[in-house]
Structure 1
Amino acid sequence: MDMRLETTQAGFTLSLDGRLLLRHSAAAPCFFVGRGNDSIEMHRGRFEIEDRLVERCPLAHAEIDGERIVLAVMKGQPPRLVIRLEGNALVLQTVDSTVNRFWIRVAADQDEHVWGGGEQFSYFDLRGRRFPLWSSEPGVGRDKTTEITFKADVTDKAGGDYYHTYYPQPTYLSSARYALHVATSAFSAFDFRDRSFHEIEVWAVPERIELFAAPSFIELVEMLSGRFGRQPPLPEWVYNGAIIGLKDGTNSFKRLVKMREAGVKVTGLWCEDWVGIRPTAFGARLFWNWQANETRYPGLRQRIAELNSEGIRFLGYVNPHLCDDGALFKEAEAADYFVRDASGRTALIDFGEFHCGIVDFTNPDAAAWFSEEIIGVRMLDYGLSGWMADFGEYLPADVRLANGMDAKLMHNQWPTLWAEVNAKAVASRGKTGEGLFFMRAGFTGVQKYCPLLWAGDQSVDFSRHDGLVTVMCAALSSGLLGNAFHHSDIGGYTSLFGNVRTPELIMRWAEMAAFSPVMRSHEGNRPRDNLQLDGDAVVLQHFARMTEIYVHLAPYLKTLSLEAAQRGLPVQRPLFLHHEADRRTYTIQDSYLYGPDLLVAPIWQASQEQRTVYLPAGTSWVHVWTGQSFSGGDKITVDAPLGQPAVFHRADSAFGSLFRGLREI
């Protein structure tokens, strides 16, 4: 990459491989600094964030000294910011200790598209909107115009909005074939509303701003995955079927037998409630004391061994908190392993009818204890092959940490620390690439540790901002930043205010999941109120067929898994990744490429039996179920009855015979 700083009559320009990124003049500066007083308050993983801005100063005067840019408000005044070019980065140093706000404006084209920002659920192309980047619960409904979001807000401040995400990351990719990453963990915001520039705001002076450029989108994604880390290939056992999520005590085993007898291909049994449960107003919650509950699951270790002998793995659940009425809480508190509050006592977090301490992962002893004694001994040694590593976004902004850092700066980093604790436990048993944990929370660097993302707690519906369609957007946005493997709860999770699953929803979600890296079901937060896979014969038969499709495609998925490990390319890909000459693909977020050869367009709206799909130009596509051929470059409409989602394969694919075999399932 060629990063070039040049002086101009009015100031300076900075370009990357010939692409203009910064244009500075006294009349139109691109750097600003200032001061602000923020307020960040948490309520059960949701944050009210406000800033009282005291100062915002344009740094109008610039002096170029070799590879250094010295910036001041005006000529003759002392400098407030010094920038040094180093490799592919701008290294920033503030000269004024009062500065705690920073803005940069990056030159933009009128027709430019922008993607990334971590894992985004509502909008894939970020252009035209502002995105605060702070790890949090996304909220219920995530659309302020809907009744369910209104009720969630009124009931528990839980409604959310389009930009809320478990996994923010201050990185974006541009259709101009460059990427920008801000090396900071502070609260930040990407603002893409102006047509002539992108503005980045950070509540600190970032260490660096890293720039990447490549001649193709694929090469750019490879660069970013190399920067942030790559996951190992999926475990071999994953390809054998679905991971069935049941939290019904010993009855889970009986239900699993019936599902297998109905033809469901099963590779794993996932029982969140292996640790026991507690009833709450939200629904059945788990008992957050991370060890087997022999009352709910008598003889579990032997049961796990029996499942293993049948080729079925057992998975559980864990998160970085310990309930204050559990035995492990007392052990951790005695060892001083918890995050502390302002008074120096163990900080207790209200999770709704119970309270927990947060294990302080900035304390090396606490992190090692959790990794070894909880995940290593009580989970891996016990026989678990995987687990949901939940939460990670609940660190309050006002707690005290062992490493002395401001919790406002550690909050976004917390998911990455949590992922590292899990990864070290797996590695300590020699099971990297064999043990599988999945997370919803994330931040810069989580890619290096977390082998699989899941999309979190969608509503059990087809809603635009919180339903099935958001899972595709989440996979595509996070996949561009090196998160190669993504999946979701089949049927959604959150059921509130009378919103419950329909048979159609479960079946359409299962169709999408059959064309994703991992198929996994979930009973949701209110299992007894919602339809389950084994609660309807038609639904169960449909699901069994979808698991057959998933297993049938395993040879293809294995090649994608290996490619992900070697090159960092995601399994689920935006259409433009392989069709960048076709700009009509740049804004599509409700269909995706499954590897380079399959195009998948799930039905994501209720009562739909047809699907209109755009097929990228320059390629001949074959409809999987009928064998009909289509030329790319236009929208087409195909029948998509239940059991036949709109799926196409490249006519020249080396896997053509495998794809044609889907018609026989």
Structure 2
Amino acid sequence: MVRGNFRLSDTPVAARPLSVCEVADEGAAVLSSADGTAKLSASLAPDASRLTMTALTGHDRITLDFTLAPDDVLWGGGEQMSYLALNGRTFPIWTSEPGVGREPGTPLTDQASADGSFAGGDYWTTNYPEPTVLCSSGWALSLANAEYVELDASEQGRLRVHVWSGEVVIDLFEGAPADLTRQLAARFGPRQALPDWALGGAIVGLKQGEASFDRLEALIEAGAAISGLWCEDWVGIRETSFGRRLFWDWQWNAERYPDLPSRIAALKARGIRFLGYVNPYLAVDGPLYPEAAAKGYFAKCLDSDEPYAVDFGEFHAGVVDFTNPAAAEWFAEDVIGKRMLDFGLDGWMADFGEYLPTDLRLHDGDPMQEHNRWPVRWAEVNARAVASRGRTGDVLWFMRAGHTGVQAHCPLLWAGDQSVDFSRHDGIGTVITAALSSGLVGNAFSHSDVGGYTSLFGNVRSPELLLRWYELGAFSPVMRTHEGNRPDDNLQIDSNAELIEGCVRWSNIHAHLAPYVRHLVIEAQATGLPAQRALFLHYPLDRETFTIQDQYLYGGDLMVALVIEAGAVMRRVYLPEGEWRHVWSGADFTPGWHDVTAPIGEPPVFYRRTSTFAPLFAELAR
């Protein structure tokens, strides 16, 4: 592991095909190789909902092949950034940094990896992988395993599932895609509601200390609809070669924000909430570190009782050991509870969760098994802190990392650190794929950094990118802007009159859609369907929808086909059966493919003429 980027290798032994079957009892069998050197038990739950396979001969790798029909399409894998359909590729399931560029052979990716850190990433690297697969022929499987898994769909007619464990537990489902999504959502637990206050305009991300408040007032005076101010630098900053980063000690930095308590109270009285930032590590040079170290709350080195220090790029931090119940309780109560919630924060970015190394010692458990569980443990700590104050459903916190089980705790995903560009595998378009793929496995709500985050090697925001990202943010459940890792080098939402005007317009459009989004929140809690939906969830018999990943149904009544290519003023849009009306022109469109005019400010968006929200949608043009 180098700064959250991983490479896994193995020394495999040739697989032993299991060709002999002996019935053990009802619902169970023992499968053996012809020579008897490999043997495992297989048991199926009475209702056929769970398959458990356990090696009986000391093996710690199991590979299962599932037969597919030639035209089956597979989806899943958690939050995937590059491909919604899994066919033709292998997807390692191991939470990590996604990487910069995510396309080896391109300048940005190769430059990011030039120092040997493999920080450029690839199509499969993601903060939130999950061993869950849905099939167009009407079934889904979801592994209960947290160990490393490979989902190999590279060969037509076969899904190969390779697990680094001697036991594999698989939950099985059947039904149409929407039914599978509902069942998976039910398996992972109830969806939390988004706070009503977060739906009524933009959450503006500024990190300029006290100057942030004057900038906020200027946007409000210009007419922007603002629901929150997000200052991730409330804890102070640390300048590094990567850019402006935060000081990882999770409490108010009075030097950077001298009058923050009264500022927060004044904003809240006006209906504007204040949000901050936290992650599950503590900088070794911060005041909270010695307190946690004295209490034994950090993961330890393998050969000593010293806290393990992770290199985060020009500074080191300790890993708060959430397998230790006392450490988890301390972080939830003393850090998030007292220093954040009681201080006045109404939300935060719960960052990271992917970095757990495998060469450390935990209070309980094997880090190879705990690595993928770590984001879930991190989500549990945040949820516990919020619940302890009776504020579940009112506080808005969001994560980028995940694995099976995070759905029950985290109310909102964000798509991570996209590059500030239109690139195919790391730009604005990956946000849509991320929302659609994560929505299939029980995550109801997703959003992104408006404007992107990662600016390296001279790659900076263009006015066009920021204006197009406004459009994306407005048609997301939460619209939140970000200044990025190098704010001084990049355009910001208040850099010029054009960008201010765009922020004003699209924040008001987001606020205008709040009644519809409230409906989607209620619907998600009742049915498990996400707000942003792959088209096939509503049109499972229309194969044209199976691989569309650059447009989405926003609920059941809006079709959103945003522009994600630089310089494009027209895009091709698919409309399934039904009566569709273009939001901006009022023109009616028939089902099928259409080339739709899409100047900046008028992305292709359509609504059902028969929708009960049709009057609300019709007003968007005004």
TM-score (norm 1): 0.92
**Is residue 2:7 matched to residue 1:48?**
yes
Q: How far has the Cα of 1:54 moved from its partner?
A: 2.7
Deviations 1:514-533 (A, max 9, x none): 01100000000000000000
Deviations 1:316-359 (A, max 9, x none): 00000000001100000000000011112210000111100000
Aligned partners of 1:69, 1:104: CA distance in 2, in Å?
16
CA contact (8 A) 2:532 2:554 kept: yes
Q: Report the equivalent of 1:37.
A: none
Give, as a single letter, the amino acid of the residue that structure 1 aligns with 2:182. E
2:428 to 454, 468, 471: 468
Kindly report which structure 2 residues correspond to 1:310-459, keeping only aligned pairs within 5 A, or say none. Answer: 310-344=270-304, 345-403=306-364, 405-459=365-419
Q: How far has the Cα of 1:194 moved from its partner?
A: 1.4
Q: Report the equivalent of 1:190.
A: 151
CA contact (8 A) 1:70 1:79 kept: no
Aligned residue pair count: 617
**Is residue 2:515 matched to residue 1:550?**
no
Q: Report the equivalent of 1:33.
A: none
Q: How far has the Cα of 1:78 moved from its partner?
A: 6.3
Aligned partners of 2:6, 2:383: CA distance in 1, in Å?
28
Aligned partners of 2:181, 2:120: CA distance in 1, in Å?
33
Deviations 1:73-121 (A, max 9, x none): 116x366200111131112222122x11110001101111111100000
Aligned partners of 1:559, 1:511: CA distance in 2, in Å?
21
Aligned partners of 2:55, 2:60: CA distance in 1, in Å?
9
Aligned partners of 1:558, 1:205: CA distance in 2, in Å?
45
Aligned partners of 2:330, 2:338: CA distance in 1, in Å?
10
**Is residue 2:451 matched to residue 1:491?**
yes
CA contact (8 A) 2:55 2:167 kept: no
Q: Report the equivalent of 2:128.
A: 167
Q: How far has the Cα of 1:183 moved from its partner?
A: 1.2
Deviations 1:474-494 (A, max 9, x none): 000000000000000001000
Alignment RMSD: 1.0
CA contact (8 A) 2:188 2:405 kept: yes
Q: Report the equivalent of 2:63.
A: 103
Q: Report the equivalent of 1:500.
A: 460
Aligned partners of 2:178, 2:84: CA distance in 1, in Å?
17
Unaligned runs of 5+ in 1: 1-41
Q: How far has the Cα of 1:145 moved from its partner?
A: 2.5
Give, as a single letter, the amino acid of the residue that structure 2 aligns with 1:43. V
Q: How far has the Cα of 1:230 moved from its partner?
A: 2.7
**Is residue 2:22 matched to residue 1:59?**
no
2:40 to 81, 98, 118: 81
Q: How far has the Cα of 1:182 moved from its partner?
A: 1.1
Aligned partners of 2:328, 2:476: CA distance in 1, in Å?
32
Q: Report the equivalent of 2:488.
A: 528
- CA 1:79–1:133: 2 relative to 1, 3 Å: closer
Q: Which runs of 4+ in 1 moved over 4 A?
A: none
Deviations 1:20-42 (A, max 9, x none): xxxxxxxxxxxxxxxxxxxxxx0
2:234 to 274, 277, 283: 274
**Is residue 2:249 matched to residue 1:289?**
yes
SS in 2 for 1:184: coil
Give, as a single letter, the amino acid of the residue that structure 1 aligns with 2:173. F
Deviations 1:459-478 (A, max 9, x none): 00000000000000000000
Deviations 1:177-213 (A, max 9, x none): 1110111011000000111211000010334111001
Give, as a single letter, the amino acid of the residue that structure 1 aligns with 2:548. I
TM-score (norm 2): 0.98
CA contact (8 A) 1:233 1:433 kept: yes
SS in 2 for 1:57: coil
Q: Report the equivalent of 1:651.
A: 609
CA contact (8 A) 1:182 1:206 kept: no
Kindly report which structure 2 residues correspond to 1:293-308, keeping only aligned pairs within 5 A, or say none. Answer: 293-308=253-268
CA contact (8 A) 1:436 1:451 kept: yes
2:118 to 127, 135, 157: 157
CA contact (8 A) 2:203 2:229 kept: yes
Kindly report which structure 2 residues correspond to 1:499-518, keeping only aligned pairs within 5 A, or say none. Answer: 499-518=459-478
Aligned partners of 2:458, 2:68: CA distance in 1, in Å?
45
Give, as a single letter, the amino acid of the residue that structure 2 aligns with 1:470. T
1:624 to 578, 583, 589: 583
Identical columns (%): 53
Give, as a single letter, the amino acid of the residue that structure 1 aligns with 2:83. Y
SS in 2 for 1:465: coil
Q: Report the equivalent of 1:27.
A: none
CA contact (8 A) 1:132 1:187 kept: yes
**Is residue 2:158 matched to residue 1:232?**
no
CA contact (8 A) 2:61 2:166 kept: yes
Give, as a single letter, the amino acid of the residue that structure 1 aligns with 2:553. L
SS in 1 for 2:150: strand
Which of the pair has the greater relative contact order for Cα pairs under 8 Å at 6+ separation? Answer: 2
CA contact (8 A) 1:181 1:211 kept: yes
